[in-house]
Amino acid sequence: MGGIIQQAIVGENKRFLIDEVHKHMDLIYDVKLRVVDIKYKTMDQINSTSSSLDSLEIALWSFYNTNSFKEAVLTAVNFKGIQILLVPL
């Protein structure tokens, strides 16, 4: 996540980050699928449970589908009208 955040801060394209960064991550198959598919999912297709994998997906979806850091954080924290704890991310 740190690499994605750093590259986003310096202005890297979101599509590039989602498409390319996962290739350099040593992740299990299920996690890679979630990262790659994030740009094709709607809010309704993302689970809002307390699992860390769902939280990661929410954070990435919010980042990809908003236009500012503030908007991404607010979208992630209030995902689907439910306040979710995303502090670890």
pLDDT in tens, 28-55: 666 666 677 788 888 888 887 777 778 8
% the chain with pLDDT above 90: 3
- C-alpha to C-alpha distances, 56 to 9, 46, 81, nearest whole angstrom: 18, 11, 17
Domain ranges of the chain: 2-81
Q: What are the backbone angles phi and psi of residue 8, rounded to the nearest 5°?
A: -65, -40
Which residue would you say has higher pLDDT here, 52 or 88? 52
Instruction: State the chain's mean pLDDT as an integer.
Output: 76
Q: What is the dihedral of CA 72, 53, 24, 59, to 10 degrees?
A: 0
**5: part of which helix (H) or strand (E)?**
helix 2-9
